[in-house]
């Protein structure tokens, strides 16, 4: 192989290897709770869990996992080659009848174009569901 033929591969191969090493997993979503987006809603934790499940279902209708008490919901949403790992935590709010809802949404690959449920979109849909609107 000549030097001129190896040139493009010499540049492309390290980029491909770096992209392959940067794949996220569900653990990145679950372990990144502090990096998620949180909001306080005027709803009990059990109702917040039900609303969150409804919102997540639109992005991931097949495999929503939840902790026994419903305080953590997870889902691996796929669309073709694109996969998004979603983790949602439901905690009691600062006052009775409120909940703190936190979402962490992580694309599997940094080169992936589509995020099945961005964090801001989750909160917009959650607010709409809370108000009885369809967004």
pLDDT classification of 49: cutoffs 50, 70, 90: very high
| Paired residues of 75 in beta bridges | 86
Q: Is residue 84 part of a domain?
A: yes
CB 94 within 8 Å of CB 40:
yes
Reported as a single tens digit per residue, the pLDDT across 112-132 is 888 999 999 999 999 999 998
Average pLDDT rounded to a whole number, residues 18-33: 78
Average pLDDT rounded to a whole number, residues 25-38: 90
Max CA-CA distance within the chain?
72
| Count of structural domains, the chain | 1
Average pLDDT rounded to a whole number, residues 51-78: 91
For residues 126 and 52, what is the distance between their CA atoms, to the nearest angstrom? 7
CATH of the domain at 124: 3.30.310.80
Q: Is residue 76 part of a domain?
A: yes
């Amino acid at each position: 192989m000549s030097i001129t033929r190896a040139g493009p591969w010499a540049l492309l191969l390290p980029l491909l290897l770096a992209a392959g090493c940067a794949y996220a997993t569900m653990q990145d979503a679950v372990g990144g709770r502090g990096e998620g987006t949180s909001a306080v809603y005027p709803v009990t934790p059990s109702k917040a869990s039900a609303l969150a499940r409804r919102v997540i279902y639109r992005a991931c209708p097949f495999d929503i996992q939840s902790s026994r008490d419903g305080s953590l919901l997870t889902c691996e949403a796929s669309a073709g080659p694109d996969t998004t790992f979603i983790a949602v935590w439901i905690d009691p709010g600062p006052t009775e009848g409120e909940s703190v809802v936190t979402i962490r949404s992580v694309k599997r690959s940094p080169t992936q174009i589509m995020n099945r449920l961005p964090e801001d979109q989750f909160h917009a849909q959650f607010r709409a569901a809370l108000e009885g609107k369809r967004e």
